[in-house]
Amino acid sequence: MANVRARIELKVGQRSNIPAEMLSFEGLETEKEHVAVIFNHADKNQTSPLVRMHSECLTGDVFHSSRCDCGEQLEETINRMSESGGIILYLRQEGRGIGLYNKLDAYELQSQGMNTYEANNHLGFGDDLRDFKEAAQMLEALGLSKIKLVTNNPKKIEDIQNYGIELESVVNTHAHIKQGNEHYLKAKAAHGHKLDLDE
């Protein structure tokens, strides 16, 4: 059973001016160092808070890579939750679960014309190896069983419900189109992601 290990206050966002709390956990099965970032005490003040399960993306979140939209989705969510409250579960499963080095290998294949899924498959991986069981355990450790999920990804919706979390609603993020990620976003849309590529 997962439990909250520690809770600290800090400021986040691109300008580091948004108050939040960061929580660590113990008792997670894989012992990966997942964290929760909580805005406006949403775990205590809301019975069904906004929640985003955001998988680590070093290239996008930290270095603002042109290859994906992860950093933009994260920043959009931080800004939204700074107003309405909410919880980001930051999950250590880089590259849809294949790891950083394999993701960089997939980038090389994408440079040769494959899309993101084709590249992962060529390397011997499935379309998406992520598992959201520990995200559900983190929510349970926070005393939450019902959420509003911030995602465009049907796998996240299905997985979190299969692990016993009730969804009050699903909130989509914008399609963050920029030079270099159009092919990536089209591939995601073709795999069922709810993206309005005309916005």
Active site residues: 128, 130
- Rounded to whole angstroms, how far apart are CA atoms 139 and 117? 29
Six token digits for residue 112: 């040769």
3-8 contacts at long range (C-beta below 8 A, 24 or more positions apart): 3/27, 3/141, 4/141, 4/142
- Rounded to whole angstroms, how far apart are CA atoms 38 and 27? 20
Note whether 123 and 98 are within 8 A (CB).
Answer: yes
